[in-house]
């Protein structure tokens, strides 16, 4: 498989991170966003990241110059129609995503692969409005933040996605140093499903124990880089709670995915973690 031109829709944290990673891999990238200011900010942030990496000696000046050549900010209306792969990384809203993909389906060449970086919307549902041929070339590519560092890409096959397309993309990502993991289109995919009980069980243990003791044990004994309460504070307790509720609902309220009352209480109190200065721990 050859990916010469990749288009990223959405210049937020995930979109610009994915764009940066592809550009670093030597692929030409068009980064776009419906909001022109957000697009310019996204591009500036990637450039500033490269500047820092160059200062740290991670990349040479000529490498960074090449990366900048690879990455272009392009208005939504002016995207190349010959892109090999378009990855959508916008707000998690089905209606808005449908509009974007319908438009892309009409504008892009017949061979263009369309992909979503969604973490919660079923891939098959996202593909609903697409033409039959495009459905075969539509899949989920779920990157993890920060996309330039985290190696995993979940390659998610929708009900009509060609198996060969998933296999070819898996091989391509492997060749570029990522660790792809293929999976079926199922709630939470792999990570957001299997990781739920890291938080869920810790919250139940916390009914009788202190957060700091649980975090300490899971880091020291379990070897996890962060404890569940520190991590929830970092991610945002509201965001973690939303993911928990979404997976729980999607699994018909299976008890093992049930949110814990403490999560809701924290959200109601606006104790959301680092971003509000108070979560399970106080933050300055």
Shortest spacing between CB 64 and other proteins, in angstroms: 26
> In this chain, which of 69, 103, 133, 213 binds other proteins, going by CB under 8 A?
213
214 binds other proteins (CB under 8 A): yes
Nearest-angstrom CA–CA distance, 193 and 248: 9
Choose between 78 and 207: whose C-beta lies nearer to other proteins: 207
**Contact string 215-254 vs other proteins (x = CB under 8 A):** -xxx-xxxxxx--x--------------------------
Cis peptide before 201 (omega within 30 of 0): no
Strands 85-88 and 71-73: unpaired
Contact positions with other proteins (CB under 8 A) in 139-168: 144, 150-152, 154
User: Does 58 participate in binding other proteins (rule CB under 8 A)?
Assistant: no
Nearer to other proteins, 56 or 225 (CB): 225
User: How many residues sit in the footprint of other proteins (CB under 8 A)?
Assistant: 43
**Does residue 8 contact residue 32 with C-beta atoms inside 8 Å?**
yes
- Could you give the CA distance from residue 14 to residue 8 in angstroms, rounded to a whole number? 10
* 154: annotated active-site residue: yes
The answer to whether 260 touches 203, Cβ cutoff 8 Å, is yes
Q: Please report whether residue 186 would count as binding other proteins according to CB under 8 A.
A: yes
2 annotated active-site = no
Question: Is residue 142 annotated as part of the catalytic site, yes or no?
Answer: yes
**Shortest reach from residue 221's CB to other proteins, in Å:** 4
CB nearer to other proteins: pick between 60 and 212: 212
- In terms of phi and psi (left: phi > 0; alpha: psi -120 to 50; beta: otherwise), the region of 256 is alpha
Exactly one of 70, 116, 119, 246 is catalytic; name it.
119
Helices H, strands E: what count in the chain? 13, 8
Distance of CA 109 to the CA centre of its chain: 25
Return the closest-CA partner of residue 85 out of 120, 112, 48.
112
Query: Whats the size of the chain, residue-wise?
Result: 284
CA–CA separation, 135 and 97 (whole Å): 15
29 closest CA partner among 53, 51, 10, 56: 10
Helix 228-235 crosses helix 196-205 at what angle (to 10 degrees)? 120
Q: Which is nearer to other proteins, 13 or 278 (CB)?
A: 13
Considering only 34-42, 60-68, 178-186, 274-282, which stretch makes contact with other proteins by CB under 8 A?
A: 178-186
Shortest Cβ distance from residue 66 to other proteins (Å)? Answer: 26
Least separation in angstroms between CB 152 and other proteins: 4
Which two tokens mark 29? 């990238």
**Residues in contact with other proteins by the rule CB under 8 A:** 144, 150-152, 154, 179-184, 186, 189-191, 193-198, 200-202, 205, 208-210, 213-214, 216-218, 220-225, 228, 255-256, 258
Which residues belong to the active site?
Answer: 119, 142, 154, 192
């Amino acid at each position: 498989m050859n990916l010469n031109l990749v288009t990223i829709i959405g210049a937020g944290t995930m979109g610009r991170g994915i764009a940066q990673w592809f550009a670093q891999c030597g692929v030409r990238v068009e980064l776009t966003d419906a909001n022109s200011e957000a697009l310019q900010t996204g591009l500036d942030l990637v450039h500033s990241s490269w500047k820092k990496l160059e200062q740290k000696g991670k990349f040479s000046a000529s490498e960074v110059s090449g990366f900048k050549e690879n990455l272009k900010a392009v208005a939504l209306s002016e995207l190349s129609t010959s892109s090999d792969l378009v990855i959508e990384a916008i707000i998690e809203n089905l209606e808005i995503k449908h509009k974007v993909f319908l438009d892309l389906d009409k504008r892009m060449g017949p061979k263009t692969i369309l992909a979503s970086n969604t973490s919660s919307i079923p891939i098959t549902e996202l593909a609903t409005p697409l033409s039959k041929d495009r459905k075969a070339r539509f899949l989920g590519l779920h990157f993890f933040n920060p996309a330039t560092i985290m190696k995993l890409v979940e390659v998610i096959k929708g009900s009509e996605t060609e198996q060969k397309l998933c296999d070819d993309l898996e091989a391509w990502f492997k060749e570029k140093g990522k660790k792809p993991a293929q999976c079926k289109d199922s709630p939470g995919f792999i990570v957001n499903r299997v990781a739920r009980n890291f938080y869920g069980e810790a919250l139940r243990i916390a009914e009788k124990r202190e957060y700091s003791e649980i975090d300490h044990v899971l880091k020291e004994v379990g070897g996890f880089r962060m404890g569940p309460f520190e991590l929830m504070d970092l991610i945002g307790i509201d965001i973690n709670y939303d993911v928990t509720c979404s997976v729980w609902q999607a699994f018909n309220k299976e008890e093992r995915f049930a949110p814990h009352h403490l999560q809701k209480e924290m959200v109601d109190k606006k104790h959301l973690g680092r971003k509000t200065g108070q979560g399970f721990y106080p933050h300055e």
